[in-house]
Structure 1
Amino acid sequence: MRIVDKLNQAEESGTPYFSFEYFPPKTEQGLVNLYDRIERMGRTGPAFVAVTWGAGGATAQRTLELSEACQGIFGLDTLMHITCTNMDRGQVDQALAGARSAGIRNILALRGDAPRGDEFWSACSGGFTHAVDLVRYVRETHDDYFCIGVAGYPEGHSESTDPGQDLEYLAEKVKAGADFVVSQLVYDADIFIDWLQRCRDIGITCPVVPGVLPVQSYQSFRRLVHLTKVAVPETLRQALDDVHANDQAVKDLGVEHAVATVRKLQAAGVRGVHITTLNLENTVMRVLSALDLGAEARRLTPRISATQTEPSNVVPGAWDDFPNGRWGDARSPAFGNLGSYVSTYGTAMQKFDSGGSAWGEPTEVDHISELFVGYVKGSVASLPWSDEPLLAETQRIKDELVRVNCLGFWTLASQPALDGAASDDLTYGWGPRGGYIYQKAFVECFVHTAMFPAFLSRLQSASPRITYYASNRAGDFVTNAYSGPQGDGGAVTALTWGVFPGRAVVQPTLIDKMNFLAWRTEAFHTWEEWAAMFPKDSPQELFLREMADKCWLVNVVDNEYRNADAIWNMFQ
């Protein structure tokens, strides 16, 4: 069914409605487990579900696969995103043909990430420079078959300096054939209500649905706000700061604020809400239950399906209860980061725009080392691989990080060992109060190919307490973390775990071959993105592309968390 027809029916009858948004997981097992989650959440009766599209069609096949499953298997009207980033006309035609073949009649037409160089972003052949061009093209080539949604920005697009002009651009997209609007995230209901009235005042009469993302974890929320620049009420910001070490309290605040925001929108006559799930379930279900939305929202509780393959020591629901960061469980539907959400609405990650000048113009290996050392010392605010300064816990190993980066081991991630820190510790704590936190020391770094053989030799001759994963861009892979008789590198190592009253041991931070290789792709691609900041064939561009080919990504773990000196002896 065309989504706009469902939204108009709801508006005419005064019926509240909601929808969900998912992103294609990075791993096959994550995708399998997401299907089980969508089947449960679909029984609550969403008006539609949306599936995001990676910039430049990076997730095109998986987006289509997930959209086809939502539409055909689960019987949910599906909104498939399509962006213009690095997409030529042939790719757009292929995506639209795939959608039609799958019976998908609804698309969200987006521009996607902002330009960062011709190699990284380019307008589509045929004039696809903005989302309005994509809307016109879909209408010209497919007439009224597709119901078209577009993005709206209550606080203005990140590249716009004139809110009035922003509204005119939105009106132009509607005039070109868009049927409805989905807004960027809303944390302040008054901002959306005022913006919606301005939309109506200039003649935008189609349905406009506000986007809502309940706070899931303190760190992910901080990063989201940092990247999107979305306005956050000071009361919410302060409340989150006060309980940031208590993950459950953060989630409770997230639910409370999301519920209050939706209720305020409903009181102003806004019937619907589009919930960005980040592929998580528990918090979203709590919001629906509190709002009394959804046919089965109150009685549905997350469960572990027989099709899932969670390790036996992971508590059902732990994927949602604790942060799902880069080193979370790769089998989690939420494994990955916020990039899938941030880029899809055209709110580009600001790291290249804001940090580029601070990263200099590297043409030598020493320039890279100097940059990483500056980041560890705090004189450089970000890196291409990291949007924010180092966490406070890193101060404990700062001297060692400075030393190894000076030597040419460019560290992307690290953590100190911990032996029973209090769960409410302001620096190291997480989870419910009254518990204890443990960590193994680990270091992830790029190592130049000239240094790698000697480094690998040290790792191979080290005590068995040291485990490692290493891979280059070409796909060569070595590890000493084996499991099973085949020695396939399938072992799972817990990097962080917590012991809390009344519950089993929780392991939110894991490293295994699957999640290491999933991150490797992104890590090496970032070299290319950085290179694209510079003119084609310039010394800087050529050097950075060369680094992508001449580095190994290495993750080293010291499994003796009570005495972690051995890990630093590897870096000589």
Structure 2
Amino acid sequence: MHIREMLSDAERTGHPSFSFEYFPPKTAQGVQNLYDRMERMYDFGPKFIDITWGAGGRIAELTLDMVVQAQAYFGLETCMHLTCTDMGEEKVNDALRKAYKAGCTNILALRGDPPREKEKWVATEDGFRYARDLVAHIRKVYGNHFDIGVAGYPEGCDDNKDEDLLLDHLKEKVDMGATFIVTQMFYDADNFIRWVGKVRERGITIPIVPGIMPIATYASFIRRANHMNCKVPEKWMTALEPVKNDDSAVREVGKVLVAELCRKIMAAGIVHLHFYTMNLAQATRMVLEELDWMPTTTRPRKQALPWKQSLALGRREEDVRPIFWRNRNKSYVSRTQEWDEFPNGRWGDSRSPAFGELDAYGVGLTGTNESNRKRWGEPKSVRDIATLFVRYIEQDIPSLPWSEAPLTAESDSIKDDLIKLNQRGLLTINSQPAVNGVKSTHPVHGWGPANGYVYQKSYLELLVAPELFPEVVRRIDAHPDLSYYAVTQSGKLTTNTPFEGPNAVTWGVFPGKEIVQPTIVESISFLAWKDEAYRLGMDWAHCHDANSPSRVLIETMMNQWYLVNIVNNDFHQPRTIFELFDGLAVKDIGVPVTVPLPISGPQVNGQTNGIHEGASTSIGAASRDGAAATVTACV
């Protein structure tokens, strides 16, 4: 979606909106941390984000990677900065091609700062000298595909303080095809409002987006203000100086000052604010809370579907997704992007030959071995693992190998049931409660257009110990409303469903529309998810040293336990799916037993490293000299 269309919507509705800027971090870990932060800040409700551009080399490539991540995996409408610095025409065209392929439809075209080693800005050979030239080139090559933003300078820029000349340059950029203006940061609202008047006097009518820098610490505030040569009102210094050594107090004072600035700007007729986050969340969140713009339970962030929609090229119309990837959005999108049948207006034919591919980025477990051991400890029994799952449900830890983010408020109604299951060693990795026709504006379960109603079948996906599996199946088969799929890592699919087609587990009914069924369960996609689910478990096991009790325990479970999903097709009965497990628990949970060590080298009984499918939890694997090699752990 073009930014000018977003701004037009805000003007028409009278609802203020905002956006965030991020920059590429310098380290790999910093990049991963920023992706996590971007995904969390998605829930703040920005209309779009923008990603700054590094002058050539690794940082420029990282900008492009971040645009792909934001558009495709996080569902964030993204504006990509593009500068003339160190960029010949071929490099510019390559960057634009990649942005286009990522589904990006917005570019902020800038001249850019000179490289660090140069005192003055010099055009690259075969490059563009001014931002207006870059704007003209983008418009010539891509027509109206990209909305093109340009910079505005209410207080002048580094190498030019002549306001009239800068306004002349701004008019030239607009005449070349620019469609919106983003300003440099400022803290003087009166001067900004005066400057907007001067812009309009020049006949420039395109939207102006003011750049706002929240205050995180006193030192960073002063440093950035000095760097940008922006005026700080005396009132601000008077308020901040007494608390400058207390970062918490600075943020509290700063949020009030910045919110007051925002209100003055909005009162002058501006409908959208752009926050320079400096890759930090807290100070920006505090300003939004002070303005009462953050989503709340009574004012939720509006979503078109009950999952994050990809904005990658060709995926914007996707409206059906298997439930198995509810907690691994990035993995699902990356795995399906090369399916030759995708997209086709729905979820796609899962029988693509590329369906089972596990080499796509985002499938495996993220984080270093050390960080994952710190996060999830070193379990030595099923009880330890069950306790870990309970801690996740109680939000004591933010993630599990199968769930990248904390539980949402949707799980509150079944939280106690999930805790009881996991305490008994029935390890739940995905679930949803039954919903019987709540309004589409419901603060927790709502999605889609207004004045509609949404429904859900209760769903449960869990790891089941082999000794419990036959009884679980017997109970399911005795209940006419329950359907299931079950499989082990190397076993065949077991199911009671009479057909292979999709079973809708979420649907919505809206005025003037067909019934929308955005979340499904079906066999082929479950088998693809099975590969990923067991891969994640094995990745977790390999965070621990070979032959350690934790590694042996987790590998044993991945080799022997069943992955089971159950749907209660009667959405009027929310408790049935949990009553199914009454009285069931892993036998002797936490009691030490003898389990085999993984054997490297030649195969043993047709199996290579690890424990073969169907083995008991107390067998010994043959060692190289024929003796039993065992280790005591708890399974």
Deviation at 1:139, TM superposition (A): 1.0
TM-score by length of 1: 0.51
CA distance in 2 between counterparts of 1:26 and 1:217 reads 21
The 5-angstrom pairing of residues 543-558 of structure 1 reads: none
1:169 matched to which residue of 2? 169
Q: 1:78 to 1:115 in 2, by over 3 A?
A: closer
Structure 2 residue identity aligned to 1:146: F
1:228 matched to which residue of 2? 228
The 5-angstrom pairing of residues 207-246 of structure 1 reads: 207-246=207-246
User: Which SS does the other structure have where 1:159 is aligned?
Assistant: coil
CA distance in 2 between counterparts of 1:273 and 1:188 reads 15
Kept in 2, the 8 Å contact 1:127–1:133? The answer is: no
The 5-angstrom pairing of residues 476-555 of structure 1 reads: none
1 or 2 for the larger relative contact order (CA 8 Å, sep ≥6)?
1
Kept in 1, the 8 Å contact 2:45–2:295? The answer is: yes
Kept in 2, the 8 Å contact 1:160–1:166? The answer is: yes
Unaligned residue ranges in structure 1 (runs of 5+):
314-483, 486-572
Post-superposition Cα deviations, 1:302-326, rounded to whole Å, max 9, x if no partner, equal xxx996749979xxxxxxxxxxxxx
Kept in 1, the 8 Å contact 2:89–2:127? The answer is: no
CA distance in 2 between counterparts of 1:233 and 1:131 reads 31
CA distance in 2 between counterparts of 1:311 and 1:164 reads 60
Deviation at 1:235, TM superposition (A): 1.4
User: Which SS does the other structure have where 2:75 is aligned?
Assistant: coil
2:283 matched to which residue of 1? 283
Post-superposition Cα deviations, 1:212-241, rounded to whole Å, max 9, x if no partner, equal 011111111121122110111111123222
Post-superposition Cα deviations, 1:388-423, rounded to whole Å, max 9, x if no partner, equal xxxxxxxxxxxxxxxxxxxxxxxxxxxxxxxxxxxx
Bigger CA drift: 56-65 or 24-33? 56-65
Deviation at 1:12, TM superposition (A): 2.6
Post-superposition Cα deviations, 1:27-52, rounded to whole Å, max 9, x if no partner, equal 11221122221112112221110111
Structure 2 residue identity aligned to 1:6: M
Structure 1 residue identity aligned to 2:248: Q
Kept in 2, the 8 Å contact 1:20–1:277? The answer is: yes
Q: 1:125 to 1:144 in 2, by over 3 A?
A: farther
- Max Rg structure: 2
2:131 matched to which residue of 1? 131
Kept in 1, the 8 Å contact 2:255–2:287? The answer is: yes
Kept in 2, the 8 Å contact 1:57–1:87? The answer is: no
Structure 2 residue identity aligned to 1:222: I
Deviation at 1:8, TM superposition (A): 1.6
2:158 matched to which residue of 1? 158
Q: 1:297 to 1:159 in 2, by over 3 A?
A: farther
Matched, 1:193 2:193: yes
Q: 1:244 to 1:107 in 2, by over 3 A?
A: same
Matched, 1:269 2:272: no
Q: 1:60 to 1:115 in 2, by over 3 A?
A: closer
User: Which SS does the other structure have where 1:55 is aligned?
Assistant: coil
Q: 1:135 to 1:297 in 2, by over 3 A?
A: farther
2:78 matched to which residue of 1? 78
CA distance in 1 between counterparts of 2:297 and 2:126 reads 46
Kept in 2, the 8 Å contact 1:21–1:277? The answer is: yes
The 5-angstrom pairing of residues 148-547 of structure 1 reads: 148-296=148-296, 309=371
Deviation at 1:17, TM superposition (A): 0.6
Deviation at 1:296, TM superposition (A): 4.3
Q: 1:57 to 1:258 in 2, by over 3 A?
A: farther
Structure 1 residue identity aligned to 2:92: V
Kept in 2, the 8 Å contact 1:68–1:102? The answer is: yes
User: Which SS does the other structure have where 2:259 is aligned?
Assistant: helix
Unaligned residue ranges in structure 2 (runs of 5+):
301-327, 329-364, 376-543, 546-635
CA root-mean-square deviation: 2.8
User: Which SS does the other structure have where 2:293 is aligned?
Assistant: coil
Kept in 1, the 8 Å contact 2:84–2:127? The answer is: no
Q: 1:227 to 1:240 in 2, by over 3 A?
A: same
Q: 1:118 to 1:31 in 2, by over 3 A?
A: closer
The structure that is helix-richer by fraction is 1
1:46 matched to which residue of 2? 46
CA distance in 2 between counterparts of 1:285 and 1:118 reads 37
Structure 1 residue identity aligned to 2:62: R
Q: 1:218 to 1:167 in 2, by over 3 A?
A: same
Post-superposition Cα deviations, 1:137-160, rounded to whole Å, max 9, x if no partner, equal 111111111111111001112211
Kept in 2, the 8 Å contact 1:43–1:296? The answer is: no
Deviation at 1:172, TM superposition (A): 0.9
Kept in 2, the 8 Å contact 1:44–1:297? The answer is: no
Deviation at 1:57, TM superposition (A): 5.1
User: Which SS does the other structure have where 1:273 is aligned?
Assistant: strand
Aligned length: 312
| % same residue | 46
CA distance in 1 between counterparts of 2:256 and 2:299 reads 19
Post-superposition Cα deviations, 1:514-544, rounded to whole Å, max 9, x if no partner, equal xxxxxxxxxxxxxxxxxxxxxxxxxxxxxxx
